[in-house]
Amino acid sequence: MAESSGVLALATLLTTLALGAGAGFRCNPPSTTTETIYDYVLPDILGQRNISLSAYKGKVVNIMNVATY
């Protein structure tokens, strides 16, 4: 029983340290570029033509970025 409580105490300590390590990390640093989403040109799903996102300005667009392994 004493061994399992020692393991639990160690796990609690390591978890606390791991959570505290990320506290000073800034997730969304300010942008240093003046580009907007409308400046991008992307290939279509078949790769046959380029699509300028500026053509969709003022419209609702759903951009789905899918990664495969």
Please, what is the end-to-end C-alpha distance for the chain in angstroms? 44
Residue 21: the pLDDT is 67
More confident residue, 33 or 53: 53
Q: Give just the sign of the alpha carbon dihedral 12, 16, 19, 22.
A: negative
Distance CA 43, CA 25 (A): 34
Q: What is the pLDDT of residues 35-61, one digit of tens each?
A: 888 999 989 889 999 999 999 999 998
pTM above 0.75, yes or no: no
Please compute the mean of the pLDDT values over residues 19-41 and round it to a whole number: 80
Residue 53: the pLDDT is 93
Distance CA 52, CA 29 (A): 27
